Homo-oligomer: A and B are copies of this chain.
Amino acid sequence: MAVIESEELPYFATYVSIVILKMMLLSPLTSYFRHTRNVFSNQEDMGSLKEKDKKPIFDDPEVERVRRCHRNDLENIVPFFALGLLYALTSGAATTTIVWHYRIFVASRFLHTIAYIGALPQPSRGLSFFVGFFVNVSMAVQIIMNSWNF
């Protein structure tokens, strides 16, 4: 056990774990679409297919949609983890301010996933992306202003 003490750490741990579990669920979802639609990238995954169907498929709309969603999660949740941790550890911001950054980010990523997987009409996906993006920018700017050492 560690001696690190931070009022925000339990919040951070909770929100990060939730949003990472959400991201991780896209792996079995990809797998589900691959198996129900027989869309595989690797020869060794095609054991259930007839010999003539054993071709890799890289352009299935459903599978690729989930993979784009997963990649977008990586591109945004990685910054959130790094910035969210440093925001709690180094910024002088009030606990409430910090925790609301976490809440809004996590909510925005759930909405983004729903909009992406459900192919909802724009600007639902664009807006949810932008909200999460802006939370990350806000944390980054405050971290830089507060701990500036170059």
Question: Residues of A at under 8 Å CB distance from B?
Answer: 1-14, 16-18, 20-21, 23-24, 27, 41-45, 47, 56, 58-59, 61, 64-65, 68, 70-71, 74-79, 81-83, 86, 88-90, 92, 119-122, 125, 129, 133, 136-137, 140-141, 143-144, 147-150
Contacts and interface: CB of A to CB of B under 8 A. Distances in A.
A90 B9 contact: yes
A89 B121 contact: no
A20 B147 contact: no
B79 A20 contact: yes
Contact of A79 (B24, B43, B90): B24
A44 B147 contact: no
Contact of A17 (B16, B77, B92, B143): B143
B147 A13 contact: yes
Contacts of A47: 122
Contacts of A1: 6-7, 92
Given A17-B144, A20-B79, A42-B65, 20 more contacts: A2-B8, A2-B89, A3-B3, A3-B4, A11-B149, A14-B143, A14-B148, A14-B149, A14-B150, A16-B83, A16-B86, A17-B83, A17-B143, A20-B83, A24-B133, A24-B136, A27-B75, A42-B68, A71-B71, A74-B78
Most buried by B among A3, A82, A88, A140: A82
